[in-house]
Amino acid sequence: MPRFNRAGKDIGRVLEWLLNRDVPDGEIGSALNLAKATYSRRKDAHDYPNYAELTALGESFGISARVLQIAFGWRGEDELILLDVEEMHQYIDQAGASVFSIEGVRISVEERRDGDGRLATAIRTLVEAADPNPDAANTPKRAHKTRSSPKT
């Protein structure tokens, strides 16, 4: 069984979400320099995607490899503090905004301004990057990507 990100998405779904388009297996296989049949077997392996594959996919699709490696558990979440603003947006997008918009998480992070751990600081930075003014009632939020329905 392949690896999933914290939101339960496989790498194909993450790429589709971040790129806002369909990403066929053949395209992912090509990015990994694998024949279609070889990729078809590889994508079901327990260690797929591995660290090197995430690096190759990131480079091929113009996505931060570091974001993918954190999302799929090959790097620790403490490395969230190393992300720049664009990478933070990618991390939030791949995980799904629901992971960071839970009100309890927001309140917990905001209440611990002094003495925050590195992870709490990183989460607060991500939340603020995604929603810099959460208290403004009528402020437009960052637009979410719309996904087109698959062609049948």
Measured in degrees and rounded to the nearest 5, phi and psi for residue 61 equal -100, 0
- Contact between 11 and 72 under an 8 Å Cβ cutoff? The reply is yes
Which is more confidently placed, 115 or 118?
Answer: 118
The distance between the two most distant Cα atoms of the chain, rounded to a whole number of Å, is 54
Nearest to 8 by CA among 60, 72, 52: 72
Range list of β-strands (E), 36-102: none
Give me the domain span that covers residue 78. 11-130
Report yes or no on 75 lying in a domain: yes
**Any domain includes 39:** yes
pLDDT in tens, 82-114: 888 888 888 888 876 555 555 555 565 566 555
Tell whether 148 is covered by a domain. Answer: no
pTM beyond 0.85? no
Angle at 12 between CA 11 and CA 15, to 5 degrees: 85
What is d(CA 28, CA 9) in angstroms, rounded to the nearest whole number? Answer: 15
Does 138 score more than 50 pLDDT?
no
Do the domain assignments include residue 77?
Answer: yes
Query: Is 2 domain-assigned?
Result: no
Q: Has residue 118 been placed in a domain?
A: yes
**Higher pLDDT among residues 128 and 11, named by residue:** 11
pLDDT tens per residue across span 14-68: 999 899 999 999 999 999 999 989 999 999 999 999 999 999 999 999 999 999 9
Domain count within the chain: 1
Range 118-124, long-range pairs (CB < 8 A, 24+ positions): 118/78, 118/81, 119/77, 119/78, 119/80, 121/81, 122/77, 122/78, 122/80, 122/81, 122/83, 123/80
Q: Is 143 part of any domain?
A: no
